[in-house]
Amino acid sequence: MPALYFVSDIHLGLQDTQAERIKLDRLETLFSMIRNDGGALYLVGDILDYWMEYRHVIPKGFTRFLCMLSGLARSGVEVSYLAGNHDFELGRYFDEELGVKTRYGMQEVRHDGRLFLVAHGDGLGEGDLGYKLFARFVRNRFNLGLLTGFHPDLATALMMKFSRLSRYHKPADTKYEPKRLIEFAAALARERVFDYFVCGHNHAGRMEPVDETGATYVNLGTWIEGRFPYGVYDEGQFRIREL
């Protein structure tokens, strides 16, 4: 069967020009691999560090990525994009213009007789009430409508500000975040049968079983620390690899 590929937390638009170019070069390599293999790709949130869709305007700075993504989808690869807490509202552009399937919340993916539960990871588990309230506010259709009523330069500046606030709110070395998602996966395994819980969000890449049934927690890590991890399920095994 064709392989499944997963990548998360690239945060395009966050870093300096050189770092962004390197990320895009690695992403181009990954897309070429997937195109050659004929597999499917799951973008598991925070691929973009910010995004705001307008009816007639596309944010500056992501042109190369959008062209690469469109080319991958047009080659016949099935691409699914799960919204994260930075690219929290993807609108209709990716579906209608690029041929990419946008998704929100936890997704069930059945492949090769296995069940994958795929989610970015934001808002899952106990605690972090402040973020959950914030997410409900910013994903509200009325509030989004108000925001898109601003001039695009102003709205984009606000999105970038929200991005920075999110990063200050949740430092990368916080021990609570990795524990929270693993505990969520373990609790989920007590309620239902699945093979893999695949997420990102906390930038703490790891892969480990969460119970005796073989259910496995997979965190895809991040691309903002000079490493370029991705997950691949192929020939009955899930692996974390690096470009």
Q: The tokens of 61 are what?
A: 């700075």
Is the CA virtual torsion 203, 195, 207, 220 positive or negative? negative
- The CATH number assigned to the domain with range 4-242 reads 3.60.21.10
Would you state the pLDDT for residue 23? 98
Domain regions of the chain by residue span? 4-242
- Dump pLDDT digits (tens) for 160-198: 666 665 554 454 444 456 688 999 999 999 999 999 999
Q: What are the residues facing 53 on neighbouring strands?
A: none
Q: What pLDDT score does 137 carry?
A: 58
Distance (Å) of CA 175 to CA 140, 146, 182, 204, 220: 30, 36, 12, 9, 17
Q: Which residues of the chain have pLDDT under 50?
A: 168-169, 171-175
Angle CA 149–154–160, to nearest 5: 115
pLDDT at 51: 83
Q: What is the pLDDT of residues 6-35, one digit of tens each?
A: 999 999 999 999 999 999 999 999 999 999
Q: What is the Cα–Cα distance from 76 to 60, expressed in whole angstroms?
A: 27
> By the 8 A CB rule, do 202 and 220 touch?
no
For residue 39, CA distances in Å to 4, 52, 190 come to 6, 29, 31
Per DSSP bridges, beta strands 40-43 and 79-82 are parallel
Residues whose CB is less than 8 angstroms from the CB of residue 146 and which lie 6 or more positions away in sequence, other chains included: none
Model pLDDT, residue 158? 66
